[in-house]
Amino acid sequence: MNCVSKVNQLFWVVLLLLSVGLYSCGGGKKAQTTAKDPKKPKETVKTDIKKTEKEAKETVKKPVDATKAKTDTTAAVAGSEAEFKVIEEKDRWGTDSLETVKNYSLYREFFKQGAYEDAFPYWRYVYKNAPSARKTPLMNGVQMYTKLLDQQIEAAVCGDGTEKPVEGKVKKSICKRKSNGGFKEWKIKDQAAFDAAFDTILMLYKVRENYFGEKGYLTTRKARLYDTYKPGDKEKIKKLREDAVLQEAEYASYDMVYAHFNDRLVDLKEGNISQDTMYQIYDYLADVVDFNADTSNNSKYADRYVKYGDKMANKIDLLRQADAEYEDTLRILEEQRLITEEKRKIAEEKRKAYDEAVAASEAYKKDSIEYATKKAKFDQVNAEIAKFEQATAEMEAYKKQQKEYEQKQKKIAERLAKAKADKDANDAKREEYEAALKEQQEYEAKIKQAQDYQKQLQQQQGLYAQQDAAHQKTLEEYKKRQEQYQKDLKEAAERQEQALKDAEEAKKRRKIVVERQNALDSGAFDAKPKRTASRSSIKTCADAKNKYTDYKNNIQSAKYLYASLQRLNCKSDPAYTDALLKMLELEPTAARARRVAQFFHSSGQKAKAMKYYEQSLGLETDRTKKSKVYMTLAALERNKVKGLTVAVAKKARSYAKKAAELNPSWGKPYLFIGGLYASSGPLCGPGRGWKSQIVTWPATDMWEKAKDVDPSVSGEANKSINNYAQYYPTTQDGFMNNVKNGQKFKVPCWINTTTRARLRKE
């Protein structure tokens, strides 16, 4: 840089500082006076809400690649935020970058003091002209509009209709479940202003996502926003929680994990998902909990993941227990149903036999009537036979008379012959002959009729005798069958009564299972996070392995085996590792590769862990998650050996740089690189003295950059800066090495970067 440009740069810096100083002396007082006016600021803020909401929508329409928004500064912020450095990427600060920087400085000063109404106009200028400059204005904007939301809430309306005035921080817990029926809704002062502020916060989240990524994290913030201020929008909240968990994967927040788990339990209770689906969801969330319960992955909130993980495990174990009991009950009911069905069939057969017996009895009665009729006829025939016998006797007597008559006839014939000879002589004898002839003809006719009748009577007598024998035999059989049918009918009635008793017992068991499941769904077990032993059919590691023997070729079996072994705490079993690797092989995903890596990481196999973390990078598409994986690799590389070496330091820095490229607004990579630089004294020098101390300068650059791009790490960054400032070379050291305070200086060694000298007074 030539002398002219240096003078030009210095001129603008001085001009900026003068404008800030003048404002602090005069303009600041005006702003403070305005803040005391109870009317004017209120009007301004309400008007600006609508303007900012409109501008937010316009800003959202202009998404910019997050990689273009990264910060590249030549010097760190020193002292107050009003003392800004000259920025090389001026386009990020708008067309008038100095004016934007000035407004940024002014709004930040008011913001730190909590004077949001005074800060708002300057913040609005920065947001409108340079939304991608840094995350800080977007984060502060959310904080200011959240304050406006809180101011619009007058009271909390409880379930019993009572209203609880809101004082201080907005909390739904102000309505107690036992005494007030729990929280119902907010009582809003101005619904239009409330909605405008709420929508503006959503817009700010959208702008931040467009410029800085962090989609999963911002989805989490949206879910919390809706849950706090619009709790009635249940479906929206549930969808945001689900999206947050899926987008963040193993980096999902513990409150989102637990809330999503409870949401899905409600879905299970309402019949929207199956129990198999619920178990799969739990297995996924359990992996998230296990990942974060490891303090090497999440040292800050590991205990909370463990706490809520135990609660989820308790509920899922109770669900499995209820499921196992329900299956046992269903099996018993099915067995009883089969027994009852068999009994019913037997009873039905008995009933059918009884009906047949009744029908046969009716037929017998009918036959009996018919038999009686025929018997009467038979008796009548017998009477006729008696008459016939009497007629026969009479016939015998008649035959005897006939014989006598034949003798008489012979005599008459003789007399006729004699009479014929003497016909004319004896008329009287002729008349006698004619009378005898007539009598003979009549008698022959009677004889023939008597013979025919006797033959008919003999035939009927034989037929009636046969029918009488058959009827006697049938009557005996009917009596025997009727006795057997009555006995069978009694047995069928007894079995039917027992079947009804069994059905009542089955209903009682079913009622017990339903009551258990309702108790689980009601959350009655939340207060007892201790795990309960499952009564599932899979009770041991061996049970799980024996059940899912086909897991090497079946992804579902691999998932079930993995989940069962995890639930039974069989992580030391080789089958657990095999199932985990098979899941990755059969259905590779980035999250699963990270899960495998985390498993090997926690078991001390760092080389394998790095291998699978590298594999996950090839499967992952989300930039934020990839940046986190690179930081995990950087940490693993850094801790590969006990002492830092040049090769390890270079490799670890390359991982951290890739993380920063993927997520430019994340401060952790710069904190990490700063730590590498600060630890390089023994690598770049003897451990003490000039060469070992100058490494603190680029380290400070990195820490300054970390808090510049990510205000959330400012505390950690400032702590490191203040800690290592005591190790800066002295002004005497600088004099001996011909280096002045603030001048550019290239640090050699493996660091090989240009910084500015920072010398401390002796």
Distance CA 489, CA 393 (A): 58
In terms of Cβ atoms closer than 10 Å to its own Cβ (0-12, 13-18, 19+), residue 386 is exposed
Q: Is the pLDDT of residue 35 over 90?
A: no
pLDDT in tens, 583-603: 999 999 898 899 899 888 888
Tell me the chain's radius of gyration from C-alpha atoms: 55
Question: Does residue 293 surpass a pLDDT of 90?
Answer: no
pLDDT digits (tens, 9 = 90+) for 164-183: 888 777 777 778 776 777 88
**53-62, 413-422, 493-502, 642-651, range with greatest mean pLDDT:** 642-651
Question: How far, in Å, CA of 464 to CA of 387, rounded?
Answer: 17
Is residue 53 within 8 Å of 200, Cβ to Cβ?
A: yes
What pLDDT score was predicted for residue 166? 82
Per-residue model confidence (pLDDT) at position 26: 36
262 vs 521: CA distance, rounded Å = 9
The more confident residue out of 758 and 79 is 758
41 or 498, greater pLDDT = 498
So what's the pLDDT on residue 762?
77
Please report the pLDDT score of residue 192 as a whole number.
Answer: 92
Residue 523 makes CB contacts below 8 A (sequence gap 6+) with: 262
pLDDT digits (tens, 9 = 90+) for 316-371: 878 777 776 666 676 777 777 777 777 778 877 777 777 777 777 777 777 777 76
Q: What are 726's two structure tokens?
A: 């005591």
pLDDT at 220: 94
Q: Is 425 helix (H, G, I), strand (E, B) or coil?
A: coil
DSSP string, 58-93: HHHTS---GGGG---BSS---SSTTSPPPBS-GGGG
- pLDDT at res. 62: 44
pLDDT computed for residue 549 by the predictor = 86
pLDDT confidence of residue 10: 39
How high is the pLDDT of residue 3?
42
For residues 351 and 344, give the distance between their C-alpha atoms in angstroms, rounded to a whole number: 10
Q: Which helix (H) or strand (E) holds 754?
A: strand 753-756
pLDDT of residue 499: 65
More confident: 419 or 213: 213
How far is residue 620's CA from residue 247's CA, in Å, rounded to a whole number?
11
For residue 414, the model assigns a pLDDT of 77
Listing DSSP states for 184-245 in one string gives: EEEEES-HHHHHHHHHHHHHHHHHHHHHH--HHHHHHHHHHHHHHH-TT-HHHHHHHHHHHH
Instruction: Measure the CA–CA gap between 701 and 134, rounded to whole angstroms.
Output: 17
The DSSP code for 643 is S
Report the pLDDT value the prediction gives residue 11, as an integer from 0 to 100. Answer: 38
Q: Which pLDDT does position 723 carry in this prediction?
A: 95
- Residues 6 or more apart whose CB falls under 8 angstroms from that of 476 comprise none
Which residue in the block uniquely carries the two structure tokens 């879905």? 267
pLDDT digits (tens, 9 = 90+) for 15-32: 344 333 333 333 333 333
Contact 149, 229 (CB under 8 A): yes
Q: What is the pTM of this model?
A: 0.59
- Give residue 222's pLDDT: 93
Residues belonging to the chain: 762
Q: Residue 24: its pLDDT value, please?
A: 37
**Highest averaged pLDDT of the listed ranges 56-65, 73-82, 187-196, 338-347:** 187-196
pLDDT, mean of residues 277-294: 83
Are the C-beta atoms of residues 747 and 757 closer than 8 Å to each other?
no
**More confident position, 69 or 303:** 303
Cα–Cα distance list, 29 to 34, 48, 105, 117, 126 (Å): 8, 22, 16, 14, 21
Q: Which residue has the higher pLDDT, 280 or 53?
A: 280
- For 212, residues 6+ apart whose C-beta sits below 8 A from its C-beta are 66, 69, 132, 135, 138, 663, 664, 665
pLDDT digits (tens, 9 = 90+) for 100-152: 999 999 999 999 898 999 999 999 999 999 998 888 899 999 999 999 998 88
pLDDT at 759 over 70: yes
- Indicate the pLDDT class of residue 298, thresholds 50, 70 and 90: low
What would the two tokens of residue 529 be? 């996070």
Structure tokens at 295: 């303090």
Confidence bin at 746 (pLDDT 50/70/90): very high
According to DSSP, the β-strands at 153-158 and 183-188 are antiparallel
Strand pairing partners for 755? 745
DSSP state of 738: T
What number is the average pLDDT over the span 201-218? 90
As a whole number of angstroms, the distance between CA 726 and CA 471 comes to 130
In the prediction, which pLDDT does 295 show? 67
Among residues 19, 21, 28, 43, which one has the least CA distance to residue 107? 28
Residue 693 binned pLDDT confidence (cut-offs 50, 70, 90): very high
| pLDDT over 80 (residue 415) | no
Whether 55 shows a pLDDT value over 70: the answer reads no
Q: In this predicted structure, what is the pLDDT of residue 429? A: 60
Average pLDDT over residues 456-460: 69
Exposure b/e, 672-685, CB count within 10 A at least 16 = b: bbbbbbbebbebbb
The amino acid at 558: A
pLDDT of residue 668: 94
Grade residue 468 by pLDDT with cuts at 50, 70 and 90: low
Query: Which residues, 6 or more positions from 419, have their beta carbon under 8 angstroms from its beta carbon?
Result: 426, 429, 430, 433
Residue of 305 and 402 predicted with greater confidence = 305
Cα angle value 244/624/718 (rounded, 5°): 105
In this predicted structure, the answer to whether residue 406 has a pLDDT above a threshold of 90 is no
| Residue type, position 752, single letter | N
Angle among Cα 727, 732, 737 to the nearest 5 degrees reads 95
Confidence category of residue 612, pLDDT binned at 50, 70, 90 = very high
Structure confidence at residue 212 (pLDDT): 85
Looking at residues 490-516, what average pLDDT do you find?
A: 66
Residue 388: closest CA among 445, 448, 457: 457
Neighbours of 279 (CB within 10 A): 20
Backbone angles phi, psi at 641, to 5 degrees: -120, 160
> Across-strand partners of 153?
188
* Look-up of token digits 């280096």: 739
Helix (H), strand (E) at residue 589: none
Average pLDDT rounded to a whole number, residues 56-70: 42
pLDDT beyond 80 at 442: no
Asked whether 118 and 46 are in contact (CB, 8 A), the reply is no
- Per residue, the 3-state secondary structure of 295-306, as one string, reads CCCCCCCHHHHH
Strand pairing report for 163-165 and 183-188: unpaired
| Average pLDDT along the chain | 77
Range of lowest pLDDT (177-186, 457-466, 514-523, 677-686): 514-523
**CA–CA distance, 758 with 761 (Å, rounded to integer):** 10
What is the predicted pLDDT for the residue at 184? 84
> What is residue 56's predicted lDDT score, i.e. its pLDDT?
47
What is the pLDDT at residue 275? 81
Q: How far apart, in whole angstroms, are the C-alpha atoms of residue 1 and residue 5? A: 6
Mean pLDDT value of segment 643-659: 94
DSSP 502-552: HHHHHHHHHHHHHHHHHHHHTTTTTT--S-----SS--SHHHHHHH-TTTT
pLDDT band at 41 (very low <50, low <70, confident <90, very high): very low
